[in-house]
Chain A
């Protein structure tokens, strides 16, 4: 397997606070990797160390087989789109996109051709002579992406590029970004805190927490088999439900299940309904079971205070917070 990016035991701290703690990560060529994590867990720091605007304390960064740990950002051949786009306000759209080529010493006629090509690709060719300060949020984001794409680097880093755009535009931008990445076969490392975004565009998702990658895999893997209770709690619109396993034959262990893994027909544990959420055509029933809150998805609208019995179609077993077993049979009914 050929890796575009390898991080080996990367450490980075600000004062006493360890932001990246022996972090290891491998990104395959042509892969769309999304780094997902709650805010303040060092997602941006991770990108900044990869691109080289922040030094790391120890470890190695390898891009396309070459150790770039000691190299300055302009020698790493990595493009980055910053969260606020960081467009050069003193230049028009054309000059913004042309800047990386100009710095690389590309001849003038070649620059014009390349900029026009990438502008057409991102549908901003009509804006080339406009000032960047007059563009809409979506257009600014396109210019920033065009500027990153124009010089054909080894690796693309994107720091929450869609967070400043309205919800509807964000959805289409997401799809376009994904299409572009697949068409041009580029390697993307994309940072976000938005799970919908991650599940939508990622080939693989890396969950970053407390300076380490807790789990890396497809979104389905993360959803179905979170390696520990923290990931289970973090991934999903509703956190994974966790109940004490002792009464169900799993002493000293914790049972975790998703809202969709509940079987209402069976005669399992008794729960009391406390709140009802409506989302599109489904009801999400919040209920209490032995002082624990659990949520499950249902077609039935129960009333608050109802006592119902539910079983589980499948569940995960956790011991000391770590995934031990995945039970797929009708285990509790």
Chain B
């Protein structure tokens, strides 16, 4: 039993290193002078000098501010749209037999199985016709494709996890369909809704393929970041990336108690 626990810890530590190391490198590049990082063949792995000059240079270059604002707008639109669509979808799918609704969900995930480019290019043709090219709404609509299947999956799980007959009880107690939904069901699915919102928001925040194809002229933050890297200004990019990552990390840590597996299983746990 004890040795099993130690094994678990070792695996957890290795996994943590794998996930945290890139972030650590980001921190190093941001706060170390370039002669210790980029200009060396073997960069220092432990911080020796501390400098804020990289950040200073980055913030003087304001052109990254607009992509950040644009990305924020897109992410919020994607997240709200995901909620508006996935809550009714989850509610409706829960009414079907589990067999049928599971199949519909699998059908929805087909979009995610195809390479994004295959879908993004034909979409961009239509978006040009519709005037959605290079607009925030255009990017948001395209990214919604990526986010929607998982959102519906989570909300379906949320509705499935509700105590059975709770909606029927509300109807029997004199509520209309609308008031039963608003007063009883919505408060009960607030956690999966929050999870959906977060996942949609974060997915949009670092989505690249749809963003670069739909809106190459007015790029979102990840696209612009890539431009900087390819133009040979990686330390500007990395310091900005770090600053922008911090709010996401804080939000995730604060809300992590809701990010438990049960809502990600789509109510399939125990089946």
Contact = CB atoms under 8 A, between A and B. Distances in A.
A100 B184 CA distance: 12
Contact of A78 (B166, B168, B172): B172
B30 to A, nearest CB: 44
Interface in A84-108: 84, 86-90, 99-100, 103-104
B174 A103 contact: yes
A72 B176 CA distance: 9
Contacts of B176: 74
B187 A79 contact: no
Contacts of A72: 171
B173 A147 contact: yes
The interface residues of chain A, by DSSP majority, are classed as: loop
Interface string B147-179: 000000000000000011110111111111001
Nearest to A75: B174
B161 to A, nearest CB: 11
Contact of A74 (B166, B174, B187, B188): B174
B173 A103 contact: yes
Task: Say which size band chain B's interface belongs to.
Answer: 10 to 19
A73 B171 contact: yes
Contacts of A202: none
Contacts, number: 58
Contacts of B165: 82-84, 86
Given A53-B168, A80-B169, A100-B173, A90 B187 contact: yes
Contact of B173 (A48, A83, A84, A99): A99
A82 B176 CA distance: 19
Scoring B164, B171, B173 by chain A CB atoms within 10 A of each residue's CB, the highest score goes to B173
Interface of B: 163-166, 168-176, 179, 184, 187-188
11 contacts: A74-B176, A78-B172, A82-B165, A84-B164, A86-B169, A89-B188, A90-B184, A99-B175, A100-B174, A103-B173, A104-B174
Given A52-B172, A103-B179, A147-B173, 8 more contacts: A51-B172, A74-B171, A79-B172, A80-B169, A82-B165, A84-B164, A84-B165, A103-B173
